Amino acid sequence: MTTALLDVSGLSCRRGGRRVFDSLSFSVAGGELLALTGRNGSGKTTLLRAIALLVPAQAGQVRWQGEDVRADREAWCRRLAWLGHQEGLKGDLTVAENIAVAERLRGHVPEPARLQAALLAFDLDRLAHRPVRTLSAGQRRRAALARVVASQAPLWLLDEPLNALDAAARAALEAALSTHLAAGGLAIAATHAPLAGARALELA
């Protein structure tokens, strides 16, 4: 087994006085896809947000290459690509503009070739100059996934990535995931539907 890049140990979260999960420990190695499964309200989203430091954990640690990620939040943010319930796209900007702005917000200068490749991966090249508000839910989801691909971050955190995707888009996501994993990347996805090649972690 390869050495784990991401180590979660004894992570506990409480929201509004209610225990969401307690002393959760797992690790993810380079090239591995972890699928978080579990019923609605089992804490999949909270776990993803806790890993991204969007939600404070009451106990436990998230370590990247052995170092607590809280020690350098900005370096940690640079390693993350995030897809939440909401896509994080601006309706009045076009698909291409949205991805370029997201890249700039991450402190990157967008490379046209990389953006184009990300758009092509999700069959968005013909929609690239359409304002996002004119797109369907599935098309918006694809645009957000293209944003994740364009970020080239080593760790993808995806909350229900398959939502609203049709069969073709699903295949595109699985292809993008396998390219990402083959390059040594990691991904954690909260999902109800099975994802090809994923190791499952069931949250009680």
Question: Which residues are near other proteins by CB under 8 A?
Answer: 49, 52, 54-56, 74-75, 77-78, 80, 82, 84-93, 97, 101-102, 104-107, 109, 131
81 DSSP β-pair partners:
156
The CA R_g of the chain, rounded to the nearest whole Å, is: 17
User: Would you say 158 or 198 has its CB closer to other proteins?
Assistant: 158
Q: Do residues 201 and 34 lie in contact, with contact meaning Cβ atoms separated by under 8 Å?
A: yes
Smallest gap, in angstroms, from Cβ of residue 42 to other proteins? 18
What's the residue count for the chain?
A: 204
Give the residue from 165, 162, 166, 163 showing the smallest Cα distance to 196. 162
User: Would you say 31 or 138 has its CB closer to other proteins?
Assistant: 138
Q: Show the tokens assigned to 128.
A: 């690239």
Smallest gap, in angstroms, from Cβ of residue 53 to other proteins? 8
CA dist 25 and 47 (Å) reads 11
User: Would you say 6 or 52 has its CB closer to other proteins?
Assistant: 52
Q: In which element (H, E) is residue 63 found?
A: strand 59-64
Smallest gap, in angstroms, from Cβ of residue 81 to other proteins? 9
User: Would you say 89 or 115 has its CB closer to other proteins?
Assistant: 89
Burial class (CB in 10 A: 0-12, 13-18, 19+), 145: buried
CA dist 167 and 127 (Å) reads 18
User: Would you say 29 or 55 has its CB closer to other proteins?
Assistant: 55
Q: In which element (H, E) is residue 64 found?
A: strand 59-64
Smallest gap, in angstroms, from Cβ of residue 159 to other proteins? 10
Smallest gap, in angstroms, from Cβ of residue 153 to other proteins? 10
User: Would you say 73 or 199 has its CB closer to other proteins?
Assistant: 73
Q: What end-to-end distance do the CA atoms of the chain give, in Å? A: 26
Smallest gap, in angstroms, from Cβ of residue 133 to other proteins? 10
